[in-house]
Structure 1
Amino acid sequence: MHDPVTVRPLISASWRRSREAGVDAAVEAAPLAFERDSLADARGAHPLRPHLPMLEALLRGVADETEHLMVITDAAGRVLWTQGPPAARRAADAIGLAEGFRWSEDAIGTNGIGTALATGRPEYVYAAEHVAHILHRWSCAGAPIIDPDSARVIGCIDVSATVPALHPAMVALVAAAARLAESRLENEMRARDERTRERLLPHLRGLGEAGVLVTATGRILAAGAPGLRGRRVPAPEPGAAVALPDGRVAVAEPLGEAFLLRPTGRVVANAPAHPASEPLLTLSLLGDGTPHALLDGRRFDLTLRHAEILALLALHPHGLSGDRLSLYLYGDDGSSATVRPEIHRLRQQLGGIVRARPYRLGCAVEADFLTVRRLLDEGDVGAAVRLYGGELLPRSDAPAIRAERDELAVRVRRQALDRGGADALWAYAQTEPGRTDLEALERLRAVLPVGDPRHVAVASRSERLLNGGP
């Protein structure tokens, strides 16, 4: 009499999830998720792309010498890259274990990729532990990769082979590869954090012990009060309330790719600030909202003309003559005499940071549109599109502002289409130009994971545009 087969609790839980998702044990292959163009877009936008050579080098010996296949997926289990010898690739192609196919549990049942993504831990699945009969000749080990910035799973690294069982060390190997990728991502994150702190700390000093500087993902970069740095808050939204770990409630003020949190409770007005080496002026000029500036943490709403002048001075840090500034603002109809009263009023509002002969800004300057430019130059399309809430001063008719606005809009759109993933394209689709951009909406439909709730909104908007609606 045979002993009863003991099913690991991990596997029985995965079987239950697969059954609830409606996975058929007779399924013959994983479903296709990406066409060729969409696959290229997804690869280009994925944060693991720069680290692919390291991962390939780490696992190349295993994949090439043992008939194993290395697989790297995104967070939805869609295969982005594979590596392995021809025999392993041919066997994998027959079941859809290839680039562009989806290996989440709800697509093909229990497997090393989908189950690791579902549990958030390194996992292995052997032979008959798979739900799909066609996978019973396969075994696989997968480990999720967690983004240290957002603390969310962004992908999975997997080794699979047509063997009854993998060597026990294989789970440890893929787990080590995942941890190495995470350490690389963390090093990049820390370098970005340090650059952001250096630029934006004067705003925090302007609020004394009350303020908090956080990333767009809610990580606290710096705080006047002790014990908060390194902790997390919910991802902030401009102007929305945020609960701080110490119980205070703060309002989120965007500062480029970061946020300044201003507590709304007991904060001493005009508290003495710790002076910085030089003032920091941050300009928020993108989108339809009221343009405004922050000067060492203090907010100033701007008229359209003052916003135009500050944008032009930020674009020309070495300064502009009165005639040149007038030409940029008014075209051939202006003169330096027209500019002079506006500069005087701006100086009354912001003080001595507005200098003359030539007109320039005597302080460090951050501007949302300049930050978008920099992020695009650095290839961080996702961050650039999230920050790009709309066009630069959309109501401005100043010739130089129009030129900068148009150039930036074209760059954001092109890079979102060419290199943006689902989140970047979704962010672009929420901007004024993106809402009616049929090409962007159709690309977004192609790259959104199956079952993503955003599918309905994107499909509805695309249909309206195709039918001639707004």
Structure 2
Amino acid sequence: MGHGSTAPAQPRPHACRDASDRLRALSAAHESADPAGARPSISASWRRSWRAGVDTAVASAPLVYDRDVIADARAAHPLDRHLPILRGLLRQVADETAHLMVITDGEGHALWTEGPGEVRRQAERVGLTEGFCWSEGSIGTNGIGTALASGRPEYVYSAEHVARVLHGWSCAGAPITDPDSGAMIGCIDVSATVAALHPATLALVGAAAQLAEAHLEMEMRRRDERLRERGMRHLRALRGERGMLVTPTGRVLAGEPAGWHGLRLPVPAPGLALTLPDGSQAVAEPVGELFLVRLPGPDGVPSGGACEPRPAARPLLTLSLLGTERPHARLDGRRLPLSLRRAEIIALLALHPRGLNAGRLSLELYGDVGNPVTIRAEIHRLRAQLGDLVRAKPYRLACEVDADFLAVRRLLDEGDVVSAVRLYRGELLPGSDAPAIRVERDELAARLRRQVLDRGGAEPLWAYAQAEPGRSDIEVLERLDTFLPPGDPRRVTVASRLDEGA
């Protein structure tokens, strides 16, 4: 070649080249059950697959969702609204005439597939279509299940699959992590009936997964701002005590120490001890959609005197009235036990911030047999506990109010079923016979149940079934039974309850 001449450009190698020799070595490794001849990520996947009992002769991935359930599973998944963006990116690189795009949930259940007719027909023969499970434990090493198991993008070609029926396929998958919970919620996969995929395919699915995570994070940040705005009044109500606002998934949104903002704590539970980043213990108090965590001082108790009091603000009354026979309130963080009658009155005043006169309040509490004189006596006793926060003419609350049942209402209005179910710990004042409380209780329960059935997936349905009346709701349990995959330990509980209700 003469000086100054340019060598012809060499084609980029496939991600898995030297196919014939490599495939023979992999086939031999399969026969001997010795993964030493495979790439490290593949040999680790083979071991996991064998421990799970996957048979190399398996003919297809298993069906987990019937056709009548798949639409609901899609609608309940957080990636549903981001599909147009993902499709657009994948189509820029993937060969639309030869590749199949698959998007699954975090368990490897295929929810969406797109591709040309011939590839789809071949994919259906091995269950690479909507409703089938592609976890490693179901079908062995594959681009979807292996990516979900390892937590990173993976490609699998030909004989690297455990199942021999997949040796005519190659695939590349990348997991998607929910920035809120930190859990893997799905996988994006590109598959084709070829011996090897182009090296750009792995980068493509990785970029698509990152794009999905970026959009989920933007949604989370917008939601965080709304939650922070609503929750800051709880921090202000501490009057100098140190405390933090924590999401139900354990993320610190605001508070002191400032350096803890953005950290992830163990998922809080009402009334249970929570281990903080410095090793100390605190208790998480539910405040609407968030938790308020009061931080202990040097002596192990919440600090209060070391800081200057904050400027005076409207008092904050926090109501916990869902699913409890012992309702209570917190007034600027101070716990106030409530009798059932006082809880009913406060709940009605919270529902009517502009106030109710004695006659209307009597009707709401007692129905036609009510007496305004009785109401005045009840208000007098309530004022002994709350002071001038209860005003007259008309009766109303002269403070900020944050009630758990009102927060569930708001979340249902916003279509946030997952958060609504998480906050709903049971029916509103279940021991109350007040006519207006019964109406509000039944309406809230009916709205939540309908949205859970119409728009909830397995997790919202399961959460709803943990409290009354969901525990014995046959329709909810039957719906949940269709969503839970085979082998899910929760199926035993669901089946037991269904048998009890039969």
Normalised by the length of structure 2, the TM-score is 0.89
User: Which runs of structure 2 are paired with 1:69-468 in the superposition (5 Å)?
Assistant: 69-207=100-238, 208-263=240-295, 265-268=300-303, 273-275=309-311, 277-466=313-502
Specify the code of the residue in structure 2 equivalent to 1:350: L
For 1:17, the equivalent position in structure 2 comes to 48
SS of 1:163 mapped into structure 2: coil
Q: Which residue of 1 aligns with 2:16?
A: none
Q: Quote the Cα distance in structure 2 between the aligned partners of 1:182 and 1:126.
A: 26
- Which amino acid in structure 1 is aligned with residue 49 of structure 2? S
CA distance, structure 2, for counterparts of residue 273 and residue 308 of structure 1: 33
Structure showing greater radius of gyration is 2
SS across alignment from 2:155: strand
Displacement of 1:276 in angstroms is 5.9
Residue 362 of structure 1: CA displacement?
A: 2.2
Q: Once the 2 structures are TM-superposed, how far is the Cα of residue 296 of structure 1 from its aligned partner?
A: 2.4
Q: Which moved more, 1:110-119 or 1:309-318?
A: 309-318
Deviation at 1:43, TM superposition (A): 1.3
Which has the larger displacement, 247-256 or 267-276? 267-276
Q: Deviations over 1:106-137 (max 9, x none)?
A: 11110000000000111111111111111111
Distance 2:305 2:106 in 1: 47
> Which residue among 39, 42, 45 is the counterpart of 2:76?
45
SS state of the match for residue 408, structure 1?
A: helix
Give how far 1:277 is off. 4.2
Given that 2:317 and 2:402 are in contact with CA atoms closer than 8 Å, whether structure 1 keeps it comes out as: yes
The answer to whether the aligner puts 1:35 opposite 2:66 as a matched pair is yes
CA positional deviation for 1:236: 0.8
Q: Do the aligned residues in 2 keep the contact of 1:126 with 1:164 (CA within 8 Å)?
A: yes
Q: Is the 8 A contact 2:97 2:115 kept in 1?
A: no
CA contact 1:128–1:136 (8 Å) conserved in 2 = yes
Gaps of 5+ in 1: none
What letter corresponds to residue 301 of structure 2 in structure 1?
A: R
DSSP-derived class of the 1:65 partner: coil
Q: CA deviation at 1:202?
A: 2.0
Aligned to 1:58: 89
Match of 2:99? 68
Q: Deviations over 1:345-370 (max 9, x none)?
A: 22332233322222222222221111
Deviation at 1:289, TM superposition (A): 4.1
Q: Distance in 1 between matches of 2:422 and 2:47?
A: 37
Listed one character per residue, the Cα deviations across residues 250-281 of structure 1 (whole Å, up to 9, x for unaligned) are: 11111122111134523245675423643322
Find runs of 4+ consecutive structure 1 residues off by over 3 angstroms. Answer: 2-6, 60-64, 268-273
AA aligned opposite 1:213? L
Amino acid at match of 1:311: A
Give, as a single letter, the amino acid of the residue that structure 2 aligns with 1:35.
Answer: D
Q: Give CA-to-partner distance per residue, 1:50-70, whole Å, 9 cap, x none.
A: 212221222234456342111
Shift of 1:329: 0.9
Q: For residues 92 and 117 of structure 2, what CA distance do their matches in structure 1 show?
A: 14
Do the aligned partners of 2:242 and 2:304 also contact (CA within 8 Å) in 1?
no
Shift in Å, 1:372:
1.1
Residues 242 and 302 in structure 2, CA contact (< 8 A), matched pair in contact too: yes
The one-letter amino acid of 2:302's match is: V
Q: Distance in 2 between matches of 1:19 and 1:110?
A: 10
**2:6 aligned partner:** none
**Distance change (3 Å), C-alpha of 1:30 and 1:124:** same
Whether the 8 Å CA contact 1:202–1:276 is kept in 2: the answer is: no
- Alignment CA distance shift 1:128-1:299 (3 Å): same
Tell which deviates more after alignment, 279-288 or 131-140.
Answer: 279-288
Amino acid at match of 2:479: R
Q: Distance in 1 between matches of 2:174 and 2:151?
A: 8
Letter matched to residue 50 of structure 2: R
Question: Are the equivalent residues in 1 in contact too, given 2:157–2:169 (CA < 8 A)?
Answer: yes
Aligned identity (percent) is: 68
- CA-based RMSD of the aligned residues comes to 1.9
Q: Measure the CA separation in 2 of the matches of 1:50 and 1:301.
A: 43
Change in 2 beyond 3 A, CA 1:304/1:275: farther
Q: Is the Cα–Cα contact under 8 Å of residues 113 and 142 in structure 1 kept in the other structure?
A: yes
* Aligned-partner Cα distance in 2 for 1:269–1:343: 32
- C-alpha change, 1:96 and 1:276, in structure 2 (3 Å) is farther
Greater alpha carbon shift after TM alignment, 181-190 vs 334-343: 334-343
Residues 1:326 and 1:192: Cα distance change in structure 2 (over 3 Å): same
Q: Report the Cα distance in structure 2 between the residues aligned to 1:225 and 1:245, rounded to whole angstroms.
A: 11
1:178 counterpart letter in structure 2: A
Corresponding residue for residue 38 of structure 2? 7
